[in-house]
Structure 1
Amino acid sequence: MKFLSLTSRNIKEVYRDPVSIILGVAMPAILLVLFASIGKNAPVEVFTANSLTPAVAVFSFGFLTLFSSMLLAKDRESAFLSRLLTTPLKPTDFILAYTLPFLPIALLQIVVCFTAGIIYGVTLNLSILPALTILFTISIACIGIGMIIGSLFSEKQAPGLASAVIIIISIFGGVWMNLKMAGGIFAAIGYALPFAYAIDTTRALLNGYDLGSIVITLYWVLGYTLIFFILGILCFRWRTKR
C-alpha cells in the first residue's frame, strides 16, 4: 500500500481543475441528448437510447485518456517525480497511483450517461449490471492508454496523442455509426480494438441478450485492459530508467 500517499496527492491534483472534469462528464451527456432527440424525429437504430447510451459512455472515457496522460507526463518531466523515483515505489505502484484518482470520474460518466439514457428510454433489465461492469472495465482500459502516453511522451505531446485516441474511439468504436454496415477498413480496424466490442456487447445486453452469448467479447475487453496496463507499467519502467 506504499502508493496511497501518492494517490492522495494525485487526487488533489486531478480535482484541482473541476472545469475539465465537468467538460469530460457533461459534454458526452449533452451529445447523447442531442442525438437521441434527432433519433426521435428521424428513427435510426444507432440513435436509439439503447444504442447511444453505451456508445457515448465509451466516447466519454476518451477524456480519461487525456486527463491521465497529461497528469503523468507533467509529473514525469518535473522534479516531483524525479524525487519519488528515489523511494521504494515500484512502477506498478506509480501506475496504480495515477490510475485510481480517475476511477470516480469514470463512475460519474457512466451514471450521467445512463441517467440521460433512461430519460430517453434505455431498457432497464437485469442485464444492466453486467453492461455497467463492461463499461467500467473499458474505462480502466482508457486510463491504461493514458498511462502509456504519459510514460512515453512529453507534456506538450501527450494532449495531442490523447485527443487522437478520442477521435479513434469515435470513428472506429462505432459510436456514431454501425461498423458492421460500414464494413471495409472501418470494421477491420474497429474490431481489432476493444472499443467496438465494449459498445456492441453493452448494446446487446441492454437489448436483452444474456451474458453467456457474448462472453467471448467480454474476454476481449478484459484482455485489452490487462495489455494496456502491462504496457503502461513497462513503458513507465523503461522511461524512468533512461
Structure 2
Amino acid sequence: MVSKDRCTAFIIRLYASPLKPSGYILGYTVPLIPMALLQTLVTCLFALIFGLPFSANILLAAVVSIVPAFLYISIGLLCGTAFSDKMVGIICGAVLTNLSAWLSNIWFDISLVGGAFQKIAEFLPFIHCVNALRATLEGNYSQIIPELLWVFGYAAVIFACAVLLFNRRMKQDK
C-alpha cells in the first residue's frame, strides 16, 4: 500500500496533513493487525478441521501471532517505503515468503543442515516466530517470551527503519 500510494497523488495529499512520519506508518500498520489476527483465527479453524486437537492454547497462539504479524507488517512497510510497487511485489511476495519458509524450521529440521545455514537461520527472526508458536501450542509457556523478544526486537528495529526512511522520503518529495 505504501509503495502504491507513493506512486500516486494520494501521498502528496497525505503530506499536507499535520501527521508526523510515525503517524503515517502507524496509519498503515494498525488496520493490518486485526486483519492478521483474523487470518490467524481462520488458519486455526482449518487446522482444527484437519485434526489439530482443540485447546485454549490455540487462542493464546492467535495472540502470540500478533508479534510475528508485526514483524511482517514492518518488513512490508520498509520495503514499501524503499522500493517501487513492482519491486515490493517481487521482494515481499516471492523472496520474503521463500526466505522465511526455508529459514523457519517449518519445511525441514534446520539442525539437519547445520553449519552456517543453521547459524544464519537462528540469527534471523523467522525460526523464532515458529518456535514461539510451537511452544504456545505445546503449552511450553516458559519458551514463548524469549522467542517473542527476539522477533519483537527485529520488528521494532525494522519498524523504526521504516519510519526513518519514510521521513527521509517525505522530505525529498516535498
Please, what TM-score do these two structures have when normalized by structure 1?
0.65
Contact residue 122 and residue 206 of structure 1 kept, 8 A: no
Structure 2 unmatched ranges of 5 or more: none
User: Residue 54 of structure 1 aligns with which residue?
Assistant: none
User: Residue 133 of structure 1 aligns with which residue?
Assistant: 63
Q: 2:47 aligns with which of 113, 117, 123?
A: 117
User: Residue 224 of structure 1 aligns with which residue?
Assistant: 154
Contact residue 137 and residue 221 of structure 1 kept, 8 A: yes
User: Residue 37 of structure 2 aligns with which residue?
Assistant: 107
User: Residue 191 of structure 1 aligns with which residue?
Assistant: 122
Q: Alpha carbon RMSD of aligned pairs, Å?
A: 1.8
Asked if residue 205 in structure 1 is aligned to residue 136 in structure 2, the reply is yes
**What are the residue-to-residue correspondences of 1:1-242 with 2, within 5 Å?**
71-163=1-93, 164-209=95-140, 211-242=141-172
Please, what TM-score do these two structures have when normalized by structure 2?
0.88
The percent of aligned pairs where both chains have the same amino acid is 33
Residues matched between the structures, number: 171
Contact residue 131 and residue 202 of structure 1 kept, 8 A: yes
The 4+ residue runs of structure 1 with deviation greater than 4 A are: none
Deviation (angstroms), 1:152: 0.8
Q: 2:15 & 2:119 partners in 1: Cα distance?
A: 41
Contact residue 169 and residue 175 of structure 1 kept, 8 A: no
Contact residue 198 and residue 221 of structure 1 kept, 8 A: yes
Q: 1:87 & 1:136 partners in 2: Cα distance?
A: 29
Change (3 A) 1:129 1:140: same
Q: 2:125 & 2:64 partners in 1: Cα distance?
A: 11
Structure 1 unmatched ranges of 5 or more: 1-70
Deviation (angstroms), 1:235: 1.2
